[in-house]
Structure 1
């Protein structure tokens, strides 16, 4: 597998230019680029610049509005519903989180449901906005219907990620960011580019049989819920995914279940939508609404230290605190650059040619 390494600034400038060529304002292009670059910096390659081709494809099909009028359409002191006007989720979700934070600053907590949006990148980006304000952040979104519920052989749910972020004191925040499926679809895309099989328990074929073929979804297969099968708790993954779908879409008026407009190229939107676009749910909660922030941070630091020192099965593999691997990747990549596999570079160069921009590399 061939990798090419790029500086953060080079990738950021390239990504910003693509969004501007799509018609986004300078402010929106900069924000959208920041979300994608943050993903690559944190080692979440499946949701970084590799996704640019997907956003361009949806824009070309008229499914992304480059100049959205994002607005609050329903509101109480602590809650709101935002209509994203089919804008980039990379822009719509931060708007919604800012609303949640502003409400939390006044009333202790803020909760915002979003409709008529698109793929919003990594959920962790949005929750970290709350952590920066000494708040607990929540973010979740529904997604392309690629996951079969427990006992089903029909794609009805998305990978439906959820994220929770908690501010610590002398340690980095604890960030729990995960798909509610056995694996995120982006990991299948990475396996496809690398020509490798995926682990057992991630997907099933069109007949409901286990498969390790990363191309299985294009042949009618399905991703599996977190837990993979009933014996290993897939009903719990199904329940978590259902929670995300209901909070993100049934609550906001977005499409839910099999009606969610897909991000993947091999699927088309439903001809009979039940709502508007895809949905998100974001929240911010002031820690000092429960106890002094310094006390909380001190105790969370103690929590981190105790779990980090847990007796390991293997001395070479310590317990990993949620968010640690991503932070370590960010430190490393800010110093040494962001690696992209050659297939992603080629995809990005095709976009550059399409828009008359300089290629990332020749």
Structure 2
């Protein structure tokens, strides 16, 4: 596939300018561009620049309020509740992040919950940032219903991802876990359909409820939860924490995030913990444990250098087709 490489500052500026051209205000454009470049460099590239196209189209269509002014409030010292005002989830988090970190260090634990936003993008982004500040973080989010609770059933859940991060001895390389409750992320199914590739059995069902390895048929049908009923239980738990606590819409009540002009009203909930309150050696002990299990053949996610900003030395590789589509918004 034809690709191009840009410096990270150049790519971030491109994302920000495209957001502005699509109808976002400066704060929203800056916040989304920062999250996009972070996904591309340190997280899941598929929900970086390729997913930016969904945001740009949604600004234009009115599915995202480009002039949103999120309003974080604190009903209790350890709880921060934000209304994203129909905008992007990242902006509400950015505005609340200093308070989340301050309260967690002061109280040992803090909870951030937000409703009325567009889908949250790369969920690992939120916990990764908090881990860089020495905090353990757990995040959940819901999204429009595209997942059937069981083969042959109707869609009831979003992909409802969860993410976890914890600081390690190397403060710049935290443990990061980021996964969907579905057998795969929706963007993976959409990409397979676009490229005409087959998908693994167990990812999706077609419109009749039958198992399929045809990605296009899966798009017309539904994704499946991972691990059968166990994965569906996780999706339900995420729904309770993300939509239930924040006051956001249940996945079944959300509109399509790629069509129409209605605000998605997704929910996001993050729990942050200050581990050194209980164990000053937490990061060292966890690092040693991860080394032990890795030596025994276990897969250990994350543990690669990340940062909150970018430098000229950082390079981003983007599919030319995606790059061209982003530039058409300018």
**Native 8 Å contact 1:84 1:116 kept in 2:** yes
Q: What do residues 219-264 of structure 1 show as CA deviations (whole Å, max 9, x unaligned)?
A: 2x0000012xxxxxx1111111111111111221110131123323
Query: 1:97 Cα deviation (Å)?
Result: 4.1
In the alignment, does 2:298 pair up with 1:323?
no
Query: 1:114 Cα deviation (Å)?
Result: 0.8
Mapped partners of 2:232, 2:54: distance in 1: 26
Aligned residue runs from structure 1 range 1-362, under 5 A: 1-42=1-42, 44-73=44-73, 75-170=75-170, 172-219=173-220, 221-227=221-227, 234-265=228-259, 277-292=265-280, 295-310=281-296, 312=297, 319-324=298-303, 337-352=315-330
Residue matched to 1:360: none
Query: 1:169 Cα deviation (Å)?
Result: 0.5
Mapped partners of 1:31, 1:336: distance in 2: 19
**Native 8 Å contact 1:93 1:120 kept in 2:** no
Change (3 A) 1:153 1:117: same
TM-score normalised by L of structure 2: 0.90
Mapped partners of 1:203, 1:269: distance in 2: 26
Query: 1:208 Cα deviation (Å)?
Result: 1.4
**Native 8 Å contact 1:99 1:112 kept in 2:** no
Aligned residues: 326
**Native 8 Å contact 1:129 1:137 kept in 2:** no
Aligned-CA RMSD value? 2.5
Query: 1:7 Cα deviation (Å)?
Result: 2.5
Greater relative contact order structure (CA < 8 Å, 6+ sep): 2
Q: What do residues 74-94 of structure 1 show as CA deviations (whole Å, max 9, x unaligned)?
A: 511111321110111221233
Q: Greater shift after overlay, 77-86 or 16-25?
A: 16-25
Residue matched to 1:316: none
Query: 1:327 Cα deviation (Å)?
Result: 5.2
Query: 1:46 Cα deviation (Å)?
Result: 1.8
SS of 1:90's equivalent?
Answer: helix
Q: Which runs of 5+ in 2 are unaligned?
A: none
